[in-house]
């Protein structure tokens, strides 16, 4: 049944926050990462997936505690690697992925990071291109999925 305007008024707004490693929001985001990024390719979230997490900056989008999106960045000196970008299926194509990446860029700029790079799933290339990332090099397979490397300089 379609939700009424009154129902929509009661829905908590989506908020993007920095989630400390190990926090409740971080742990709930791991559930979303598994659901969006691993289960569809027949895998669970593995130790290799979470190994960089302790040193990463985690952004989590949530509505009243219900996690609907996440992304992280691992600092590599003057650059950072964007990883584990996921938006819950029912929240896609509403600007949430863009909002997460733009907030991540702002956080990284504030930390003096001059460039972001990432390995993009080929199906997500148009999304990153809309956000100003440029693909480079050949398609390669990583964890069963075709990817391309992408970069974006950050104006400081
Ligand atoms: C890729 C993903 C994060 C995009 O999130 P989203 O919230 O749907 O993206 P947005 O709504 O913010 O889209 C931003 C822009 O990209 C475009 N876009 C998003 N997904 C797209 C797609 N699959 N194909 C073409 N364009 C796309 C939107 O139209 C929008 O363009 P606009 O700003 O000019 O209107 C989301 O689809 C997802 O979680 N997918 C599954 C996991 C995944 O592939 N993660 C990335 C791994 S590298």
CATH number for position 63 = 3.40.630.30
> Is the CB of 113 within 6 Å of ligand 1?
no
Q: Which range marks the domain in which residue 59 is found?
A: 5-114
Mean pLDDT of 119-123: 98
In a domain, residue 11? The reply is yes
Residue 122 inside a domain? The answer is: no
Ligand 1 pocket: which of 124, 128, 150 to mutate (most atoms within 8 A of CB): 124
DSSP H helices, the chain, are: 5-10, 24-33, 47-50, 96-110, 125-130
Ligand 1 atom nearest the C-alpha of 96 is: 7
Q: Is 100 in the pocket of ligand 1 (CB under 6 A)?
A: no
Run of H or E including 15: strand 14-18
Asked if residue 80 belongs to a domain, the reply is: yes
Domain count, the chain: 1
Q: What are phi and psi of 10, to 5 degrees?
A: -85, -15
Write out pLDDT tens, residues 22-78: 999 999 999 999 999 999 999 999 999 999 999 999 999 999 999 999 999 999 999
Residue 21 domain flag: yes
Buried b (16+ CB within 10 A) or exposed e, 24-56: ebbebbbebbbebbbeeeeeebeeebeeebeeb
The pTM score is 0.95
Residue 107 has pLDDT above 90, yes or no: yes
Is there a domain that residue 120 lies in? no
| 135 domain-assigned | no
Residue 153 lies in a domain: no
Indicate whether 140 belongs to any domain: no
Residue 8 beta carbon below 6 angstroms from any ligand 1 atom: no
Which residues neighbour 70 within 8 Å (Cβ) at sequence distance 6 or greater? 19, 29, 32, 33, 58, 59, 60, 61, 84, 85, 86, 100
């Amino acid at each position: 049944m379609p939700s009424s305007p009154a129902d929509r008024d009661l829905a908590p707004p989506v908020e993007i926050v920095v989630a400390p490693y190990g926090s409740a929001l971080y742990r709930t985001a791991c559930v979303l990462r598994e659901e969006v990024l691993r289960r569809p390719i027949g895998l669970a979230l593995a130790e290799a997936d979470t190994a960089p997490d302790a040193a990463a900056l985690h952004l989590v989008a949530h509505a009243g505690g219900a996690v609907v999106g996440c992304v992280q960045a691992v600092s590599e000196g003057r650059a950072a690697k964007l990883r584990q970008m996921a938006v819950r299926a029912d929240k896609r194509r509403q600007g949430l992925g863009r909002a997460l990446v733009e907030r991540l860029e702002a956080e990284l700029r504030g930390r003096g990071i001059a460039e972001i790079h990432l390995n993009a799933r080929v199906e997500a290339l148009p999304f990153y291109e809309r956000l100003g990332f440029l693909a480079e090099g050949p398609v390669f397979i990583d964890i069963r999925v075709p990817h391309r490397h992408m970069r974006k300089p950050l104006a400081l």
